[in-house]
Amino acid sequence: MKVLWIIPGKGEGSSFIFSRRQIRKLQDMGIEGEVYFLKSRTNIFSLIRARKEVKQIMKHLKPDIVHAHYGSINGLFATCLKHPRTVITFQGSDLNNTSSESFIHNKITKLASRYSLKRTVGNITQSQALIDIIPSKYRHKSYIIPSGVDESVFLPMPRDKAREILGWNQQDLVVLFNGNNPKIKRLDIALAAIEIVIQQFPTARLEVLSGDVDPEKIPLMLNASNVVLLCSDSEGSPTIIKEAMACNIPIVSTIVGDTEIRLKDVSGAILTDQNPMDIAHSIMSFLPNSSNNAYNLRESFFSQHLSGTHSCQETIQIYETILKTK
């Protein structure tokens, strides 16, 4: 089986690292193929050039399936290649309206995704909430597979050891925040919350993950942190939550995407709203230095089948089903 995967961006830093890791895992499990990074989604001349490049790749690869990771213009581009077996993995903001984005941006994103749905043989979404957004006539070909996390990479380790490797101060109280898209992730709320925390815990600080952070450092940064914070406007199935669960790191999260399903009644996780004061109080309940050994986050990670191995097995099953369908 050969697959051509299409991912937005340049394939550098932490950009779509969850998709890149999944593809590497699929290749390790025997799926052949190539990855094409769609660098520009707004310049028509770049898109025309990209289509010519991809057509050349398809000519020699002869893929059985074209699989786009993310909808919107990326998904639309994939369907315009007119391969008879095109699959799109929708991540969340490509289907959801996002309050931090402009009306025009939301409209274009949703129209592109909606048009793409017509031309696929299969759609993969991150949660039931995303399935519910898809028009009912396309749901028969839609599947739920939360993006998995490599359980052999994201492992618990002693906090002091992780900090020593990173060169972090052992006395700091670190709140880790994924800010690779500050507007959607709501960095403003995170900063407001940490200011409240600092009033009671002066050594507290917010460690922001930007898109240029070395992906290999993420497991260390998780293990070196006291708490992981998520307060986004829009998510599908946030990877940072599953990575924190795999590392058994405490989590404070708003109810967004599938976080309520993932974290409800899980020891070491608190669900809250986007009010900075409420977030701050939730963060402080894990400070100054609670032991990660008291939590069952990693146990819940496995019981919910969130590992990269499991998600890749389910993806391969979808590939096989599509290939058997005439």
Q: How high is the pLDDT of residue 291?
A: 62
- 2-147+307-324 CATH, one of 3.40.50.2300, 3.40.50.2000, 3.20.20.70, 3.40.1030.10: 3.40.50.2000
Per-residue model confidence as pLDDT tens digits over 216-250: 899 999 999 999 999 998 887 899 999 999 999 99
* Backbone torsions φ then ψ of 227, nearest 5 degrees: -150, 145
Give the tokens for residue 45: 């001349």
CATH architecture assigned to 159-303: 3-Layer(aba) Sandwich (3.40)
3-state secondary structure of 108: helix
Residue pair 68/86 in contact by the 8 Å Cβ criterion: yes
Please determine, for residue 99, whether its predicted confidence score (pLDDT) is greater than 80: no
Listing DSSP states for 115-152 in one string gives HHHTT-SEEEESSHHHHHHS-GGGGGGEEE-PPPB-TT
Domain ranges for the chain, please list them: 2-147+307-324, 159-303
Task: Give the Cβ contact number of residue 177 at 10 Å.
Answer: 25
Give the tokens for residue 178: 């994924």
Per-residue model confidence as pLDDT tens digits over 6-29: 999 988 877 788 899 899 999 999
- What confidence tier does 93 reach under pLDDT thresholds 50, 70, 90? confident
Mean pLDDT (the chain, rounded): 91
Give the tokens for residue 31: 């799926």
Rounded to two decimals, what is the model's pTM? Answer: 0.79
Question: What's the rounded Cα separation, in Å, for the pair 312 and 2?
Answer: 15
Which residues fall within 8 angstroms of residue 62, CB to CB, at 6 or more apart? 2
Equal fold, 2-147+307-324 vs 159-303: yes
